[in-house]
Amino acid sequence: MSQFGMQMPGSHARQRPGPNVYTALFFIAVVCLLGAVVIVWQAGTKVSPESGALAPFSLQDSNAIRLDGR
């Protein structure tokens, strides 16, 4: 019956595969992307015309762009 993929009662249970190299690379990529988001968010707060948590989403006037060092 093993040719049909059936297991006999009392046979050894299959072990789940553990994390591999690709899992580690995925988590490293997620950490790097989160770091990049933080850096871009901080840069956006420095050049935004408003202040606050949502400042990077505010737009400057295209005729009067200011880069204030806060």
Query: What six digits make up the tokens of 53?
Result: 């948590």
Q: What is the pLDDT of residues 2-59, one digit of tens each?
A: 566 666 666 666 778 888 999 999 999 999 999 999 999 998 888 888 888 788 888 8
pTM to 2 decimal places = 0.63
Query: What six digits make up the tokens of 50?
Result: 């408003």
Nearest to 37 by CA among 16, 14, 64, 56: 56
Residue 5 — left, alpha, or beta (φ > 0 → left; ψ -120 to 50 → alpha)?
left
Query: What pLDDT, on a 0 to 100 scale, did the predictor assign at position 35?
Result: 98
For the chain, the structural domain boundaries read 20-49
* Cα distance between residue 39 and residue 8, in whole Å: 56
Q: What is the pLDDT of residues 19-30, one digit of tens each?
A: 899 999 999 999
